[in-house]
Chains A and B, each alone.
Chain A
Amino acid sequence: MSAVDLAATKPADVAARTGRTGIRARTARIATGALIALLLLPFVPVLLWSVTRGWFYPAILPPALDLAAWGVVGSPESGIPAAVLRSVGIALGATVLSMLIGVPAGRALGLHAFPGRRWVEALVLAPLVVPPLAVAMGLHAVFLRLGLAGTATGVMIVHLIPTLPYVVLVSASVFSRFDPRVEDQARTLGASRLQVLRHVTVPMLAPGLAVAALFAFLVSWSQYGLTLLVGGGQVPTMPLILNQYVTAGRSDVAAAIALLTVLPGLVALVLSARILARASRRDGEGGR
């Protein structure tokens, strides 16, 4: 097998190969597009249902535009505005608490080696892998006794079980890319501990930590099982209200609620993509 043999290839063979490679990128785009279409297909009836009523089989498209559902969504009697506030409040509370508790732990895991590290890692990972149903059932009696069962506070606390690990893991990866020597550098240049935090550490880490917070908010916002168990049906968040309207046969209102429920995720996705793109641009310039 000499070098010349390797380089020598039949022209027809070569053309066939490159022809295929050329098409492949386009095929890949088409296939990706098809996959995306399939993934998004469930939202077609949701979108259509949110702007119509009385849309029965076999009509493929809604018979008429009807925004009654949005009227229901906006009216206080439906309880939906209250549910939005409740969901936002619980998710914000869970986010703030998990950031306060989880970011320092993320720093420890991202920057330091210490005895028992494996166990801390396992403890953080566990709530994300082990189904939470048994945990919530075990806590139920305690929450009852503490008067937390059936309250928004109780639901928020139990939401910390999935949100906190996300914050710890995301911030650990943020810190693992952070060189703490810049803090020492700032200290030697005359900054106090607080000034270092304010002018160096936080600005450098802000984009990554913002993404962690967005994640935490979304995780709490999407919870169903934990809310149902600990809330005992008395803390109807958006996902629960959505299912109630589906069961009640008000598909139009359910669709409107579904769209509202998807909204924060969409915003978070666009925001985090922006934040990360800007951060990588900034870091790229800094590196040059």
Chain B
Amino acid sequence: MTERARLVLMLAPTVALLAGLFLGGLALAALRTVGIVPLAGRFDPTAEPWARALGAPDVLASIGVTLWIASAATLVATVLGLAAALLLRRAGGGRLMTLLVQFNLTVPHVVTAVGLLWLLGQSGWIARIGHGAGLIDRPADFPVLVADPAFVAVILAYVAKEVPFVAVVTLAMLAAVGTGPAETARSLGASRWQAFRHVTWPLIRPGVLAAATVVFAFVLGTYEVPAVLGPSHPKALPVLAYQMFTSNDLADRPAAIALSLVAAAIGVACLMAVRRLMSGLPTLKVAR
């Protein structure tokens, strides 16, 4: 067997499966929104689903809050994740501490969301502690953090989940860069902060930004967190799209797909950004 044939055999199943399921699903979805359903042999091109999707009440508000959630969660998670990685390293990075930081990474989103529901709700655990401390009297005195218009609990759920992700990526980047460059900088007269600012940070920045982009795209498309913790109005994009998809009016279906394609399109843009960032990471390239 030639080298070439072996390579093709090794790659073919993965490529076929992802092309079939992922690209195929995406293509069918896109066709459906313009009135083409290959399986049913239907071909009546129309822009009606898009008009319906974008014209539906709350859609613009929905896209707006979704971008707000994704931006806020990404910003906070990236800053805290970076801080967590640097703190872990500064603290000597004990195994138990590292494991505890990573723990949330393994927790399904829905569990974190439910935990925050019981923690931050108006009769939740923190409100009860507030009552115990004499700060509030009735649940209504506690600030609305769950199902609130600012999506505070939703954002915090993503932060709790994604801080470990950013921290793990940052730790891997720090390990790949090693302590050499910073030590060289120190011996050339840079303070601890200058060595980080001018040498270590520029070297790990692409990886950290790539992680942040992945977090952003992920938040855009996750259903269960806003479903558990978000308000009923306006809804996050995935929740709105799912409800339209399963509504009794079958005409809503193509419109729902159009909405989820909006999220997918932002995701594709994120993918290209991630690939650009990762091409600047010689240490992490898999090819020899």
Contact = CB atoms under 8 A, between A and B. Distances in A.
A110 interface: yes
Given A104-B11, A124-B18, A39 B114 contact: no
Contacts of B63: none
A128 B260 CA distance: 16
Secondary structure of the A contact surface, majority rule = helix
Given A130-B264, A131-B263, A261 B23 contact: no
Contact of B106 (A24, A28, A266, A277): A266
Interface in B83-110: 83-84, 87-88, 90-92, 95, 97, 99-110
Please indicate which of the listed interface residues A48, A228, A262 has the most CB atoms of chain B within 10 Å of its own CB.
A262
A164 B214 contact: no
Contacts of A129: 213-214, 217-218, 267, 270-271, 274
A79 interface: no
Interface in B236-276: 238, 241-242, 245, 253, 256-257, 260-261, 263-264, 267-268, 270-271, 274-275
B87 A28 contact: yes
Contacts of A196: none
Interface stretch (B27-35, B143-151, B178-186, B199-207): B27-35
A262 B22 contact: no
Contacts of A14: none
B160 A42 contact: yes
Interface residues of B, number: 100
Nearest to A215: B106
Please indicate which of the listed interface residues A36, A107, A165 has the most CB atoms of chain B within 10 Å of its own CB.
A36
A64 interface: no
Contact of A137 (B21, B227, B257): B257
A261 B111 CA distance: 8
Nearest to A112: B7
A230 to B, nearest CB: 10
Given A138-B24, A172-B286, A243 B114 contact: yes
17 contacts: A32-B91, A33-B97, A35-B84, A35-B163, A42-B116, A46-B115, A108-B7, A122-B271, A131-B238, A131-B264, A133-B242, A134-B25, A134-B263, A135-B22, A137-B25, A172-B286, A224-B223
Interface of B: 7, 9-11, 13-15, 17-19, 21-30, 32, 37, 39-40, 80, 83-84, 87-88, 90-92, 95, 97, 99-112, 114-119, 123-125, 127-129, 131-132, 139, 157, 160, 163-164, 189, 192, 213-214, 217-218, 220-224, 227-228, 238, 241-242, 245, 253, 256-257, 260-261, 263-264, 267-268, 270-271, 274-275, 286-288
Given A32-B101, A222-B110, 18 more contacts: A31-B87, A35-B80, A42-B119, A45-B119, A46-B114, A58-B131, A101-B14, A101-B17, A105-B11, A107-B10, A111-B288, A125-B274, A126-B22, A133-B221, A134-B30, A135-B21, A225-B224, A265-B105
